[in-house]
């Protein structure tokens, strides 16, 4: 049985925040941000928007694209690192917002590879025969998890949501997936407070540990290594030669990581999808948003081979190789 994407949709908030805007509030420069990260602008959600609101819009677009009703959905999985609240799951809020009355719902937290992990998990439910149509969403209002006084993180992130409907397909679809985690590196990218380890307190407020803490250089090294390692692994497993990959969609964290990773893997930049200049790092949303972008632009052709790879908090990484057919 083959499983693939039968519907695709995304949403990024309308508010554009440029590097010049950030220069006004932080000790940073447009030049530093551009040369160190490749980011020119990013999107910030409106104050009244939370992750489920962005996910709802992307999900409705994906359902329309799949020509399915919300009642046809059996399961919703939201990959996110910025849920509306600690519980209930954002997926349950999305289920209610889109009226998917027949769907079970849960969140999957796997750092930036959240959508890769969730799509891999969703595909197993279909292969096992348990469910037919699954909404897999990567959605974030991750900018709310960032400290507006920390120039090392605040300038890098943006909000967005990408949604995919998975179902059985006659041709193409997912060829293979690979998932990886190394929890011994957890400290390099973490939001330390607000959970059971460090509940909210005056100390937490003072330390600002309710915001993301990142060791940028360690994350950088892990990311470049993982892009090539896990991509090679998934291609080997699928028996797909690197040369036959038509589109390479890496997680959009830093243009330097993307270029170094693509070079290490041996894939030319013409095949690499880049959105970081416009959207920054939207964490678990970055891959489905980038996929939807090339789909809407009419660039994805039937039987194109698409390699998607991501890395992030955990530390985790994940890759999917698929053949596009829709």
* Contact mark string toward ligand UT7, 118..137, x via CB under 6 A: --------------------
Q: How far apart are CA 135 and CA 89, in angstroms?
A: 15
CB of 71 to ligand UT7, least distance (A): 35
> CA-to-CA distance for 86 and 50, rounded, in angstroms?
13
Which is nearer to ligand UT7, 81 or 167 (by Cβ)? 81
CB-CB contact of 321 with 306 (8 Å): yes
Chain position whose Cβ is nearest to ligand UT7: 216
Q: What's the closest the beta carbon of residue 57 comes to ligand UT7, in angstroms?
A: 23
325, 303 Cβ separation under 8 angstroms: yes
What letter does residue 133 receive in the DSSP assignment? -
Active-site residue among 81, 92, 251, 254?
A: 251
Catalytic residue (one of 112, 133, 254, 302): 112
**Shortest Cβ 215–ligand UT7 spacing (Å):** 8
Q: What is the DSSP string of 52-102?
A: HHHHHHHHHHHHHHHT--GGG--EEEEE-SS-SSSSS-HHHHHHHHHT-TT
Give yes or no for a contact between 30 and 19, defined as CB atoms under 8 angstroms apart: yes
Q: Rank residues 27 and 202 by Cβ distance to ligand UT7 and give the closer one.
A: 27
Q: d(Cα 47, Cα 13) in Å, to the nearest integer?
A: 11
- Cis, peptide link before residue 88, omega less than 30° from 0: yes
CB of 275 to ligand UT7, least distance (A): 13
Residues 45-84 that bind ligand UT7 (CB under 6 A): none
> Which among 42-50, 124-132, 150-158, 178-186 is the span making contact with ligand UT7, rule CB under 6 A?
150-158
User: Between residue 92 and residue 121, which ones bind ligand UT7 under the rule CB under 6 A?
Assistant: 112
Q: How far is the CB of 153 from ligand UT7 (least distance, A)?
A: 7
> b vs e for 237-253, b when ≥16 Cβ sit within 10 Å of the residue's Cβ?
ebebeeeebebbbbbbb
Alpha helices in the chain (DSSP H): 19-23, 30-37, 51-66, 90-98, 114-127, 151-154, 202-207, 216-238, 255-265, 276-279, 286-296
Annotation says 112 is catalytic? yes
Clarify whether 281 is annotated catalytic.
yes
What is the nearest approach in angstroms of ligand UT7 to the Cβ of residue 250? Answer: 11
Window 237-296: residues binding ligand UT7 (CB under 6 A): 253-254, 257, 281, 283
Choices 7-15, 148-156, 178-186, 289-297 (CB under 6 A): range interacting with ligand UT7: 148-156
Tell which positions 180-239 bind ligand UT7, by CB under 6 A.
189, 216-217, 219-220, 223
By CB under 6 A, how many residues form the interface with ligand UT7? 21
**Contact (Cβ atoms closer than 8 angstroms) between residue 233 and residue 178:** yes
Q: Select from 10, 37, 52, 143 the one that contacts ligand UT7 (CB under 6 A).
A: 37
Per CB under 6 A, the list member of 9, 172, 288, 312 interacting with ligand UT7 is: 312
By beta-carbon proximity to ligand UT7, the closer residue of 219 and 267 is 219
Contact with ligand UT7 (CB under 6 A) among 36, 232, 237, 271: 36
**All residues at 6 or more sequence positions from 14 whose CB lies less than 8 Å from its CB, including other chains:** 43, 46
What's the Cα-to-Cα distance from 80 to each of 83, 160, 258, 305, rounded to whole Å?
6, 11, 22, 26
User: Which of the residues are catalytic?
Assistant: 112, 251, 281
Binding positions for ligand UT7, rule: CB under 6 A: 28, 32-33, 36-37, 112, 151-152, 155, 189, 216-217, 219-220, 223, 253-254, 257, 281, 283, 312
């Amino acid at each position: 049985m083959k499983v693939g994407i039968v519907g695709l949709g995304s949403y990024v908030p309308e508010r554009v925040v440029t590097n010049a805007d950030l220069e006004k509030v932080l000790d940073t420069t447009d030049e530093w941000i551009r040369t160190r990260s490749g980011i020119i602008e990013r999107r910030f959600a409106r104050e009244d928007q939370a992750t489920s609101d962005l996910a709802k819009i992307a999900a409705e677009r994906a359902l329309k694209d799949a020509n399915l009703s919300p009642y046809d959905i059996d399961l919703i999985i939201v990959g996110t690192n910025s849920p509306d609240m600690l519980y209930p799951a954002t997926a349950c809020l999305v289920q209610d917002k889109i009226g998917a009355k027949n769907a079970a719902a849960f969140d999957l937290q796997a750092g930036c590879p959240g959508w890769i992990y969730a799509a891999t998990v969703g595909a197993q439910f279909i292969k096992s025969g348990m469910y037919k149509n699954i909404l897999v969403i990567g959605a974030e209002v991750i900018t709310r998890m960032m400290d507006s006084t920390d120039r090392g993180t605040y300038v890098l992130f943006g909000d967005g949501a990408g949604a995919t409907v998975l179902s059985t397909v006659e041709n193409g679809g997912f060829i293979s997936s690979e998932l990886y985690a190394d929890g011994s590196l957890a400290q390099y990218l973490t939001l330390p407070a607000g959970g059971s380890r460090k509940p909210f307190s005056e100390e937490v407020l003072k330390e600002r540990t309710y915001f993301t803490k990142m060791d940028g250089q360690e994350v950088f090294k892990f990311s470049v290594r993982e892009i090539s390692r896990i991509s090679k692994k998934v291609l080997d497993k699928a028996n797909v030669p690197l040369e036959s990959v038509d589109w390479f969609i890496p997680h959009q964290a830093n243009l330097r990581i993307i270029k170094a990773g693509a070079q290490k893997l041996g894939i030319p930049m013409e095949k690499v999808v880049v959105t970081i200049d416009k959207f920054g790092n939207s964490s678990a949303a970055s891959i489905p948003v980038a996929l939807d972008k090339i789909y809407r632009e009419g660039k994805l052709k039937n039987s194109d081979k698409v390699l998607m790879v991501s890395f992030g908090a955990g530390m985790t990484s994940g890759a999917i190789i698929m053949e596009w057919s829709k």
